[in-house]
Amino acid sequence: MQQYHFRLQKLLDIRLQKEDESKRIFKEAQSEKLKVEKKLNELKDNYIKYRTISNKESVIEQKIRHVYLNAINYSINEAHEELAKKQKVLEEKRDELKQKQIERKTVETLKEKQKATFLKEQNFIEQKANDEFALYGFIRNLKNLKGGEMNGD
C-alpha cells in the first residue's frame, strides 16, 4: 500500500506557524490589557482610600490631599483611554487570529478530504486485487476439480 503524501504540506506548515505566531501576539496583547486594568483598579482603590477629607487635618494637608486626588483622577482618565486602546488592539489581534485559524483549517480540510479520497482509492485497488486472487483461486480449484474427475473416470 502506498503512503499518502499531501502536496500542500509546506503551505499547511507555514499556516500553522503563522497561527502560532498570531496566538503569541494575541496573548501579549491580552497581557498588556490586563496590566492596564490592574493599574486602573489600583488607581481607583487609591482614590477611594484617600478621597475622604477629615476636619482634623490642617489646611496644608487638605490641600496636598486635594492635589493628590486630582493627580489620581487625571491618571485614572489616562488609564481609561489606554485601556480603550488596548481593548481595540486586542480585538484586532483576536480577528487576525481567527483569520489565521480559518486559513489553516481550510488547508487541513483539503488535506483530510484528499487523504480520504486516497484511502478510498487504495482500498478499492486492494479490494480489486483480492477479488482477482479469489477468482484465480476459484478457477484453479475448478480446473483441479475437473481434472481430477477426468482422471478418475
At 17-30, the pLDDT tens digits run: 999 999 999 999 99
- Specify the CATH number for the domain of residue 86: 1.10.287.1700
Indicate whether 35 belongs to any domain. yes
Distance CA 16, CA 100 (A): 8
Count of the separate structural domains present in the chain: 1
At 122-136, the pLDDT tens digits run: 999 999 999 999 999
Say what the pLDDT of residue 144 is. 84
Distance CA 144, CA 150 (A): 10
Q: Which residues, including other chains, have CB under 8 Å from residue 36's CB and lie 6 or more apart?
A: 79, 82, 83, 86
Q: What is the pTM of this model?
A: 0.73
Reported as a pLDDT band with limits 50, 70 and 90, residue 71 is very high
Reported as a pLDDT band with limits 50, 70 and 90, residue 10 is very high
Three state DSSP letters for 32-80: HHHHHHHHHHHHHHHHHHHCCCCCCCCHHHHHHHHHHHHHHHHHHHHHH
Only one residue has cell 480489486, namely 128
The residue range of the domain holding 65 is 9-152
